[in-house]
Each structure stands twice: as structure tokens, then as C-alpha cells.
Amino acid sequence: MIRAHFVEELEDLKEQIKDLAVDTKYSLDSAIHALYDANLEQARDIIEADAILDAKEEKINDEAVLMIAKQQPVASDLRRLVSAIKISSDLERMADHSTNIAKATLHLGEGHGIKITPELREMAITAMDMVDLAVKAFEYEDISLAKKLADMDDVIDKKYGQIVKEMLELTAINPEQIQHIMQMAYVARYIERFADHITNIGENIFYLVKGKTYDLNK
């Protein structure tokens, strides 16, 4: 009976993490739309909503710690709880980067006159696909799916390098717009970091399944 209740709590925790992942993906999607549409109201909404995601992460952590204290689990059950704490932390940090993109949108303001490179949207789409894959890998505890995250992260890293180069070239010919141009470089960095945290999640899934650490960037 006690074991059955513990399994139910683990499943509930798993569902909370999947729910947080969906919210985190939505935060990036909304932030990118706000950026391209110069929708300052939407950007402000994203910033305000970040507190909700913070609270969800805190709830997951509190429940996982309490389960460890009460049940004193070992082996795979302990790894599931430790992984839950680590994964929820990465998801919360990913949402912080979406918030940073929203802040960059506010900084750009209305009528800045700069064409926003489509590569930022492409980076974000790949990052959101990574979230979907990570959730699937987590749900089915599938390390073969988790390993694929590294290849997708490489795509984002390459685009990030291209965008930074492009932004530097733009500042050379448009020095009067350097502050606005740099905001786009920052956005690229935020998306790149968002993806890095998804790679961390993949590594935690590997730890969950195999009981040992694994560097997906090897």
C-alpha cells in the first residue's frame, strides 16, 4: 500500500514536470512572437508570467525533497527524484531566458526600424523541437532520444555563431543603431542558452536510466 502510494506520487511529479516543460516551450514561442511583432504588451505578459513558472518549479522541488525525506528511496527511485529536481531547475532557467527575450523586445521598443533576422526564429523553432523531444525522452526514459538532443543543439550553436557574425557586420555599417543590433545578438544568446539547458535535461535522463553521468556534447 505504501509502495503504491509512492508510485502515484512519482507519477504525479512526472506529470508536473511535463506540464512545466509545456509552459516553458510556450514561453519561448510567445517571446519570439512578441519580438517579431514588436508586441510590447505581450512581452510584459511573458515577464509577469515567469513568476508562475518559478512557483511550479519550487513546488516540484519541495515535493521531491519531501519524498526523499519521507521514503528514503534507493537506486532508481532516488534517481527519479534527484532527476526531477535537476530537470525542473533547467526548465525554470529556460523560462528565464524567454523572459530575457521579452525584456529585449521592450528595450527595442516600437519603430526601431531594424529588420529582425529570420534565423532567430529558426533557432527558436529548433529549440522548441528539442523541448518536445526531451519530454518524450523523459516520459519513456529513452536515452536514444536523449542523445539526439546533442545534434539539435549543434545546429543551434552553428546558427548562433552565424548570427553573432552578422550582427557584428551590421554594427560596422550602422554604428548609430548598435544598441538595437546588440539586443538581437543577446536574443540569439538567450536561445542558445535555452537549448543548452535542454541538453542538460538529456544528460539527466541518461543519469536517470543508467545511473551515471554522460556528456552529450562529446
CB-based contact 138:201 (threshold 8 Å): yes
Return the pLDDT at 162. 94
Which tens digit of pLDDT belongs to each residue from 66-118?
Answer: 999 998 888 889 999 999 999 999 999 999 999 999 999 999 998 766 788 89
Q: Residues near 6 by Cβ (< 8 Å), separated by ≥ 6?
A: 67, 71, 73, 77
Residue type at 4 in one-letter notation: A
Each residue of 40-74: b (16+ CB within 10 Å) or e? Answer: eebbeebbebbeebeebbeebbebbeebbeebebe
Q: Residues near 156 by Cβ (< 8 Å), separated by ≥ 6?
A: 123, 126, 127, 130, 191, 192, 195
Look over the chain and give the mean of its residue pLDDT values, rounded to a whole number: 93
CATH 1.20.58.220 fits 2-210, yes or no: yes
155: number of Cβ within 10 Å: 16
Query: Using 50, 70 and 90 to split pLDDT, how confident is the model at 179?
Result: confident
Which tens digit of pLDDT belongs to each residue from 189-205?
Answer: 999 999 999 999 999 99
